[in-house]
Each structure stands twice: as C-alpha cells, then as structure tokens.
Amino acid sequence: MSKPDIDHVSGTETTGHEWDGIRELNTPLPRWWVGLFYLCIIWAIGYWIVMPAWPGITGYTHGILNRSQRDVVTAEVDALKAARHARETELAHASLQQIQSNPDLLQFAMAAGRTTFADNCAACHGAGGQGGHGYPNLNDDVWLWGGTLADIEHTITVGVRSTDPNTRQSQMPAFGRDGILKPEQIDDLTEYVVHISGRAANAPAVARAAKLFADNCAACHGPAGKGNQEMGAPNLTDNDWLYGPTRADIRDQIWNGRGGVMPTWAGRLSPEEIKALAVYVHSMGGGE
Amino acid sequence: MGTHTVITMRNAMPAAAEVERSDAQASNSAANREFYKSRVPIHPKLVHGTYRRIKWIVMAVTLAIYYVVPWIRWDRGPHAPDQAVLVDLAHERFYFFFVEIWPQEVYYITGLLILAAVALFLVTSLFGRLWCGYACPQTVWTDLFIYVENLIEGDRNARIRLAAGPWTASKITKRVSKHATWLVIAVLTGGAWVFYFTDAPALAHDLIAGSAPLVAYGTIAVLTFTTYTLGGMMREQVCTYMCPWPRIQGAMMDKESLQVTYRIDRGEPRAHYRKGETWDGRGDCIDCRQCVAVCPMGIDIRDGAQLECINCGLCIDACDDVMPRIGRPLRLIAYDTDANVLRRQRHEKERFRFVRPRTIGYAAVLGIVCLIMLGGLVTRSSIGLDVIRDRNPNFVQLADGSVRNAYTLKLMNRADKPRDFYLTLDGVDDRRVNIIGLGFVTLPVKLSVEADKVRAVRVLVTVPRTGLHAGSQDIEFTLRDAKTGEDRKADAVFISGAN
C-alpha cells in the first residue's frame, strides 16, 4: 500500500480519486451512523421474513406473522362489540319507556344515539338538531308526525316520502304552479293564513279566502288550521314555520306545495340503533 | 520530579502514609473542556464522613419510600380500592391516603407541582443545589450504582487498573456480575413503579405468573432501560447535559446562598507540605487532590463554583479526613457563601444571611400556595355539580312563543355510599322544568347518585313569553344532600333571545 495522500490545506486524507485536478477528501460518515445504517438493513431483512412485505403478481408475501391491519381493526371492533353486548341486549329488550326510566340505560342510549345522530342526521337537521329552512327543528315542541317516543321511532324507521312501502306520506298540492287556484286567490289565502296565525291581515281578503280555505286546505290542516299529525299537516296557527313566516314565504309554499324527504333508516341502522336514536332525539326537547 | 517529591515527603514526613495523595485530574474542568471531547470515565473514590453518612440515610429513606408506599393499605370501604397511594387510570381516580382526587380536580396536582417548584426555589436560594446532591432520583440511583461498582470491582484505584487492564477471566467475572446487579436493580426500579398504578399485591402475583398486562411489562422494560443507562452509563452527564433544573437553579442562587465552597482565602497558596514545615506564608491546601478523587461529577472544587457541582459535599468529607492528619482545622472545603469568602478576605466577620428579599419572597409564595391548597382540601365538597348549557341551539322558541333552554347537569357523588340529592333552580320563577327520563317535575326534585359516580341529567327549562325579561338571565342550580343538607351551587344563564 502506498502512503495515504494527505491534502496539505485541510490536513485530511484523500480518497486518491482525482478529476481535473480536484481531489476528494476522505471524510467518512460517523461510525455510529454507519452502524445504525447496517442495523436498519438487518432489521429490514427480519421485517421481510416476519411481516407482509413484498408485492407479487396475484398477492403478496404474508410473512411468518401473517399480520394484517384489517384483521387488527376487525378484532378491535369485535372486542368493542363484545364489551357492548350486554348493554345492547338490554337495550334491545327494553321498551322505549323502560329505557327512559333507567338512568344507566338512558345514559348508554343517549351516548349511542348522539353518535348515530351525528353520523346520519346532522347533515340535514344540524349538529344540535336545530333544523333549518325546510328541515324541522327537533328541539322544539312542534312535531309534524308526532313527538312521542313511539312516533319518533316510527318516523326514523320508515322515513318521510321515502322508498319504504309504509313511509310517512303526505303531499300538499302545488296550488299555483299546477293552476289549481288563481294567483289572486292564493294572495287571499296567504292573508287568511297570516290572520289565523294571530297576525294583522287584510280583512276583505281574509273574508274572501274563508271558503277557499275550507274547500282546499281544511281537509288536511283542519277547519281551524290546527294541523293533523296523522297526515303530517303542520299547524298553521302557531309561531313555527318550516319554510318561513313572511307573506312571501307563505305564498310561495301555497304556490309550490313543497314537502321534504327523509330516507327510511330501517336496514341502514339496526333496530337498537334506531331505538337509541329515538331516545336521543326525544331528549333534545322532551318530545311531546 | 515526581520521584523527588515522594522521596522527600517520605523522608521529611513519617506521617506521609496517613495522607493519601492522588494524581486525580478533574475531567470536567474549564482548562480541559473542549467541544467534541469524548467523556473521560469518572471513578469516584469511596469516602467516609458526615455528608456521606447523610447521603446514605437520604438514599435509604427515599428508596424505602419508593419501594414501600405502594404496599401500604388504607381502608376506604367496599366501593374503593384499599391501596393508600394509587393512580387508578382505568377508573379515573387518584388516591392518596385520605384524599381521593377526581380528574375534574386536577388543579390539586397543579398546586402540588407549584409547591414542589417553589419549595425547590426556596431551598436552592438558601442552601444551593441540595436537591441535586441528595434527593434527586438521578443522584440516589447513581450513588447506588457506584456503591455496587465499588463492592464488586473495588475502590477507585482498583477500578482504574481494571478498566485499563486486559480482559482476563477475573475482569470478565467482575464486569458481568456488576452489570447483572445493575440490571436487577433496574428491573426492580421499573417493577416498583407499576405498583403505583394498580393493586400492588394482585399485580405482583400477575407479574410473576406472567399474566400481567403487556403495558406493565412494557413499562418495566422501559424503566429498566432508563435506570440502567442513566444510573450506570451516563451518570453525571445527565446532570451536566440533559437536566434543565441545574440551569434554572442558577437563577435562584446569589452570593449569600450556601454552596460547597473551597475557602480560597484559607487554602491558597497551595503547596505540598512536609511535616515540621511552617504554615506561615502558605495556605492550608496541601494539594493532595483527595477532593478531586472523590468527586462524582469529575470536577476540582478548588476551581470555584462550577455548573457541574451538585452540592453533595463529598469533597468536604474527603478534605475533613485530611486536615486533622496535618494538624489543621476542619472545613477547608465547606458549605459556605461567596459573600463570606469576600468578607474574610477583607478581614470582616463572616455571617450567614438566610433572611433576604429573595428568600422572603419564595417563602411567602410557598406559604400562600400551601394555604390555598389546605383551604381547598378542607373546604372540598363531597358533592360536585357541573352545568353544561346547550349552545347548539342556544335557545328554542316553542309553538306558543315560550322559550326553552336545555342544560346537561353532571351530578357528582364523591362519597363512598349512594346518596339522594334535591335539585332546585333559582333565578327564574315562572318556569316549567322537564327532566329527561322523569318528565315534567316540580322542584325540588329528588335524584339519587350511586357511590363514587357521576350521573348526567338533561334538564329542559321553559319560560313562557310573559316571563321573559332580559336577553340573558342569571340562574343558579343547587344540589342538596337529602340527609345532611350539604349543598353545592352552580351558576348558569337562561337565554331568551329577547332584546
């Protein structure tokens, strides 16, 4: 071996390589770094043997442990289900009233219902069930289809204007759009609805619309406009307006006869989840 | 020159054998400190004396506390564990003898940490880094590890020879048994830690049977590793490079703080001493370097106060062992203050000023925090009441124009038996109250809560249009024990939406 070539400026040994008069200093990596690097290689080889690692044409090498994150998640979910099993069985067998009167079960149902609500209902009804324009507020005491525990459970199960054969179903005609009533008649009816909700209205128009209301609206909304939960017809005499309280809102609704849609949740949620959800929704405002 | 010194000393001073000399070099001195320097192993010599004895005692007491506390039993009745000190993470409770702390009361832990910090401030400003030198786990365990090393490999000189010597069978035996003993200590350290988190006897059984939870074995493994490396391998480097406390403590000390001090006014000029020589015109330091040989931090205390010094006082013991042999007074090295050194150099009387603005300040803060903590513990209620108002929606207008607010109440029963409470509501008179599960109720309403449990109750409060006044009304829920009358109040607001 020849004597190592020392760079006279830095005093460092060179590798002996030279390019156009430029020589490379030999400054090796720290030994601990190199050690770690080799350790990583050894670790990687062990990893290939033990864990799933190499992709193939139709599959992959499974490794000795045959570990899969999907299996891990499934096992965790199963463990969670097993832990919840006792309470869920209890929930499945208890009536809605029994759930409400047992503090422990109520707490469990509320917790389960809250999650289910956030995942499935909050998109339309809002995170706190506060509703919005065209979406009922679940916190108040106005219930289109009834606000008892049983009513709520049934509505969730079959939905409103949904694909379920037993769905809650009602349809307000589009009196203006379909030409059932003349525009001026609809103006009069608007005044009438404003009048029965306890606000000041154009008296001659109200008088003209009385017969119109009896002929066209009373069948569902009732002769006094108090609504009918059997048909999902809202009470027109209270302070609660699904599509807005102004004359323009009311006229718009008579003209177009809008009705919202809620899907059926039977089949998507288990009966226990629907039960817990009903208890949770009922707890928002105490139902009816 | 070295030979010359030894010969003259032997000739001139028959007592030379009594004063052991050392050629120990301070591995951590400013003179030979440079960047990227590898660590020079420190082989502290075993010393005997007052401070060494205190260190043994502190070590015994702190280790005893650490190992024994989880095994102390404390009867809390059938609903709670009977371990005196227990951090029950699974059930979210912390038990400390007669105190049971819920997660909601984590401020007690905060208070305890503040107390510990301020106490450290006070002690440091009075006596320097006493915590570092005596009570810090790093010091206690390192001391224990060095003691084991000393037992197996011999004292300083033997250890230096062993380290430099070839790998003989004897060296291998010594090294293996040393590391094995260290590992046993490390395992026991981690093993004791886990007992604070679950029932100790049951866990001890499970650990030995191999059926303890994986997290217990994992914790023991991690603590075994840290104890072994920090106590056996890294030692003084932890204090010098890793620990932030020494740097912070520097800000608490001043020239009146006691710290291990080489009394430079008395020791210098230092020189070797031959028996019969006069002490006139020279200092008491005979440069025997015993103080350097015993230092676990590898410093020479005669260089003055240094950031490595943990104030353990072992160099005081070493020097006090030498002084009587040469007929000089004790405490050439002593717990003393920088100010006293200056005063003596100016021929003033030395004095210790423990009462200073700084120490008064720390003591006052300590006292106040103590009082607050004590007050908090004494007036601590066995009832808890939290009110969480619904904010989405903030309020609900009902069909008849009345307004409803919803509240979730957390009723906490911190007693070890089930209790009945009466719930009342003040602030709004004309209201209807609906409790989910109970329906409309008349207040006060009776609610029962199981022992050591929280019960969540959803309460709906409805106020008719006529009863609405301000946009926001202050209200107050009260939870009163049906038997004892002890109560707990919680403020809330009722929002009407009215302007």
Determine the residue among B390, B407, B436, B462 to mutate to test chain A binding: the one whose Cβ has the most chain A Cβ atoms within 10 Å. Answer: B436
CA closest to A106 among chain B residues: B437
Q: Does A240 touch chain B (CB under 8 A)?
A: yes
Put simply, whether B392 touches A (Cβ < 8 Å) is yes
Same structural domain, B66 and B212: yes
Q: Where are the beta strands (DSSP E) in B152-286?
A: 259-262
Domain positions in chain A: 1-67, 71-167+262-285, 183-256
Contacts of B460 in chain A (CB under 8 A): 285-286
What is the count of structural domains for chain B? 2
Tell me: cis bond preceding B269? Omega within 30 of 0 counts: yes
Please indicate, yes or no, if residue B118 is contained in any of the structural domains.
yes
- Tell me how far apart the alpha carbons of residues B235 and B246 are, in angstroms, rounded to a whole number: 15
> What's the Cα-to-Cα distance from B75 to each of B80, B197, B381, B412, rounded to whole Å?
8, 17, 20, 22
Instruction: Find, in chain B, the residue whose alpha carbon is nearest to that of A281.
Output: B436
In the numeric block, which tokens belong to residue B219?
Answer: 């914790």
In chain B, what residues touch A282 (CB-CB under 8 Å)?
Answer: 436
Residues of chain B under the 70 pLDDT cut: 1-18, 34-36, 498-499
Asked if A239 and B455 come within 8 Å (Cβ–Cβ), the reply is no
Ranges in chain A, pLDDT < 70: 1-2
- Name which of A140, A282, A284 is nearest B397 (Cβ-Cβ): A140
DSSP string, B57-78: HHHHHHHHHHHHGGG-B----T
**A183-256 has the same fold as A71-167+262-285:** yes
Check CB contact under 8 Å for A110 and B458. yes
DSSP state of A6: B
- B153 vs B150: CA distance, rounded Å: 5
* B393:A137 CB<8 A: yes
Contacts of B455 in chain A (CB under 8 A): 103, 107
In a domain? residue B114: yes
Question: Per the CB < 8 Å rule, is A283 touching B400?
Answer: no
Choose the closest CB to B399 out of A100, A235, A282.
A235
Residue B90 touches partner A, C-beta closer than 8 Å? no
Q: Are A208 and A191 in contact (CB under 8 A)?
A: no
* pLDDT given at position B15: 44
Q: How far apart are CA A154 and CA A148, in angstroms?
A: 10
Q: Does A162 touch chain B (CB under 8 A)?
A: no
Interface of B with A in 403-422 (CB under 8 A): 404, 406
The two beta strands, A22-25 and B85-88, are unpaired
Determine, yes or no, domain membership for B403: yes
Q: Looking at this protein, which amino acid is placed at residue B115? A: L
| Contact (CB<8Å) A285/B460 | yes
Q: B381-401, pLDDT tens digit by residue? A: 889 999 999 888 899 988 888
Domain boundary among B200, B231, B249: B249
Answer whether residue B355 is part of any domain: no
Closest CA to B318 of B246, B235, B236, B262: B262
Element (H, E) at B208: helix B200-209
The residue of B394, B398, B413, B434 whose CB has the most chain A CBs within 10 angstroms, and thus the best one to mutate to test that interface, is B398
Q: Residue A125 carries which side chain, given as an amino acid letter?
A: H
Grouping H, G, I as helix, E, B as strand and the rest as coil, residue B152 is helix
Give me the pLDDT at residue B293, please: 94
Identity at A25, one-letter amino acid code: L
The contacts of residue B426 (CB under 8 Å, 6+ apart) are B475, B476, B478
Question: The domain A183-256: what is its CATH number?
Answer: 1.10.760.10
- The verdict on B81 and B229 lying in the same domain is yes
Q: Which residue has the tokens 């207040």?
A: B443
Helix, strand, or coil here: B85? strand
Q: Nearest Cβ partner of A100 from B392, B393, B437?
A: B437
What is the per-residue pLDDT for B499? 58
> What per-residue confidence (pLDDT) applies to A46?
94
Considering the segment(s) A71-167+262-285 as one domain, its CATH architecture is Orthogonal Bundle (1.10)
In the block, which residue shows the tokens 């371990």?
B83
B-facing residues of A in 170-209 (CB < 8 A) are none
Query: Which amino acid belongs to residue B240?
Result: T
Q: A235: which chain B residues are within 8 Å (Cβ-Cβ)?
A: 399
Å between B388 CA and nearest CA of chain A: 14
Domain containing B423 — which CATH number?
2.60.40.10
Size of chain B, expressed as the number of residues it contains: 499
Is A107 within 8 Å of B456 when comparing Cβ atoms?
yes
What residues in A contact B458, CB-CB < 8 Å?
Answer: 110, 283
Q: Which residues of A touch B390 (CB under 8 A)?
A: 128, 139
Nearest to B434 among A103, A127, A286 (CB): A286
- Say yes or no for a CB contact (<8 Å) between B460 and A286: yes
Tell whether B77 is covered by a domain. yes
Residue B284 lies in a domain: no
Q: What's the pLDDT at B35?
A: 67
Domain that residue B238 falls in: 41-249
